[in-house]
Structure 1
Amino acid sequence: MYCLPEMAAANAAFWAALQLGLCAKGLETADIEFQTEGCAAPEGLEPGVFFTQTCGYPLFKHYRDKGRVLGTPHYSAPGCVGSTHRAFFMVRSDDPADCLEDMRGRIFGCNSLLSNSGMNLPRLSLARIAGGRAFFSSVVITGGHVASLDRLDERSIDMCSIDNVTWGLFEKFRPFKSDRYRILDETESSPSLPFVTAVSTSASDAAAIAETLHEMMVDPRMTGIRDALELAGFSTPQVDAYECLAEFEREAVGLGYPELK
């Protein structure tokens, strides 16, 4: 999910290290294809996926029976605490708004209606102030978090909600652009984007992947790769830790704001 072009080498190195760790445990992974496409919130999980990272909201709402959660990465980006992340409401640096209420009647950019950080988390924040009415003049689907920032810079939208890890990586790799934006507000926190395998992966192979990920997070030889990807740890929470995503949705619906509008 975090795949800025500037991260390609670090992502490839992370996968190579995972392969080596699994091979040491007797798992053959040479025939598994490494793909870097897929920064957008996916609409499904392919049945043969061996290892991926996906947005927690669509995973648990739409294709929970297709994926097995391996664990939750911890990130060092601002706004992360332990295994959680959140979303930032972003506006242009020259926007006069002081709070979310000031954005009423303006144009919102959403990366995907399947996105936790782009839709589910901001929907809850907005539901608490919208009064059950439309809050924006329009909502534009941009196709990705970075695309939302681009649209914001182009002034075709006025605000978007960006995963805080994406924003941290954007600031890190594109500091020459990040000063065009500022954080207006932030959402509730929720578990970070989980590492996942398809349900067709055996329990023993899934356990081996999770064990290898734990090892990679403490291996001193991985420090440079972890730092490049802002990785700070890995844990295996209970699957019901992600139930809060459904609770956020239920609260928004109860407040008369079932969809971004």
Structure 2
Amino acid sequence: MSVASLGMYDHPAQRWANEALWAAIASHLRAAGIDAPDALDRRPVEAVWRDPDLLLAQACGLPLVADPELDLTVVAVPSYAVAGCTPGRHLSRIIVHADDEAANLADLRGMVAAINAPLSNTGANLLRAAFGGIPFSDVKITGSHRASLAAVADGAADVAAIDAVTFAAIARYEPEAVARVRVLAHTVSVPALPFVTARHTPPATRAALRKALAAAAHDPALAEARDALFLADIVSASGQRYGEVARIARETALA
């Protein structure tokens, strides 16, 4: 049985929206004669990316180019209605505690950073790029952007880079959490998290995935779900654009 996941932007308050989006995508795929699962797979995304039965998922750009064990093909790229996120691209917000007096990034050298994962593009790669390396006294691995934000809010870390789309979701659904931090700076923008499939997925299925994603991105019945996900559009794409992520990783010694 094939596997599908929309786990990259899946805040608890957004799960209904991802389920609605997937139901529409799956319906389009079945109409094209493709067997699509009824439910989303909510295992950790790292496990889903490695599943040989992967039909569709959203992936982080850094593992896509830096993890040799991943065997994925990019089929599309989303755009998000979030400040600073231009079509097909996104960035991170560099945050500190609301009471932190830092005026710029230089003031944070020697402090403690929180990252969601070492191979996170928005949480680690772009943070290192913003600082030109590793100027921190310690780096705490939190496991998620929400946990990194909480670490800064609780004083367990001094700085973190939070994916702008995730930050927007937390600001909307957990405003009390965002009130305890402030945005000090922004990272450079990079290609947004791609929609991917297993590399061995047949070309006809890849084409059907692209059509189904595009249809869901413009279906009037999904307007409320797309708003909950900040999703503005989905267009066909290839993996070539993620060479930009690989370049940043090389420059910051992450790859």
Deviations 1:74-115 (A, max 9, x none): 111122000000111111111111110010111000110110
Give the SS at the match of 2:85.
Answer: coil
- The offset of 1:37, in angstroms, is 3.5
The worse-fitting range, judged by mean Cα deviation, of 170-179 and 79-88 is: 170-179
Contact 2:49 2:57 in 1 (8 A): no
Give the SS at the match of 2:170.
Answer: helix
Identify the match of residue 35 of structure 1 among 27, 31, 41: 41
Identify the match of residue 124 of structure 1 among 122, 126, 129: 129
Deviations 1:159-210 (A, max 9, x none): 1111111001111111232111111111111000001111122111111011
Question: Does 2:91 match 1:86?
Answer: yes
Question: Does 2:249 match 1:249?
Answer: yes
Over 3 Å counting, the alpha-carbon distance change for 1:216 and 1:43 in structure 2 is: closer
- The offset of 1:68, in angstroms, is 1.1
Percent identity between the two aligned chains:
34
Give the SS at the match of 2:207.
Answer: helix
Show structure 1 runs of 5+ residues with no match: 253-257
Query: Hey, what does 2:217 align to over in structure 1?
Result: 217
- The offset of 1:63, in angstroms, is 3.9
Query: Hey, what does 1:21 align to over in structure 2?
Result: 28
Deviations 1:214-245 (A, max 9, x none): 11111111111111111000122332111011
Question: Does 2:131 match 1:99?
Answer: no
Contact 1:45 1:63 in 2 (8 A): no
Distance across 2 between alignment mates of 1:47 and 1:58:
17
Query: Hey, what does 1:255 align to over in structure 2?
Result: none
Matches within 5 A, 1:162-181: 162-181=162-181
The worse-fitting range, judged by mean Cα deviation, of 170-179 and 110-119 is: 170-179
Deviations 1:147-169 (A, max 9, x none): 11111122111111111110011
Contact 1:3 1:36 in 2 (8 A): no
Query: Hey, what does 1:228 align to over in structure 2?
Result: 228
Contact 1:74 1:82 in 2 (8 A): yes
User: Residue type of the partner of 2:67?
Assistant: H
Over 3 Å counting, the alpha-carbon distance change for 1:213 and 1:234 in structure 2 is: same
Distance across 2 between alignment mates of 1:143 and 1:42:
14
Please report the RMSD computed on the Cα atoms of aligned residues, expressed in angstroms: 1.8
Distance across 1 between alignment mates of 2:123 and 2:70:
23
Contact 1:86 1:117 in 2 (8 A): yes
Over 3 Å counting, the alpha-carbon distance change for 1:244 and 1:48 in structure 2 is: same
Contact 1:107 1:138 in 2 (8 A): yes
Contact 1:42 1:55 in 2 (8 A): no
User: Residue type of the partner of 2:223?
Assistant: T
Give the SS at the match of 2:28.
Answer: helix
Distance across 1 between alignment mates of 2:186 and 2:194:
21
What is the number of equivalent residue pairs in this alignment? 247
Deviations 1:22-76 (A, max 9, x none): 122222324x65222436x669522111111110110111147611111101111
Over 3 Å counting, the alpha-carbon distance change for 1:237 and 1:44 in structure 2 is: closer
TM-score, normalisation: structure 1:
0.89
Contact 2:88 2:192 in 1 (8 A): yes
Distance across 2 between alignment mates of 1:192 and 1:43:
19
User: Residue type of the partner of 1:36?
Assistant: R
- The offset of 1:248, in angstroms, is 1.1
Identify the match of residue 57 of structure 1 among 62, 67, 77: 62
Distance across 1 between alignment mates of 2:183 and 2:84:
11
Distance across 1 between alignment mates of 2:251 and 2:177:
36
Question: Does 2:73 match 1:68?
Answer: yes
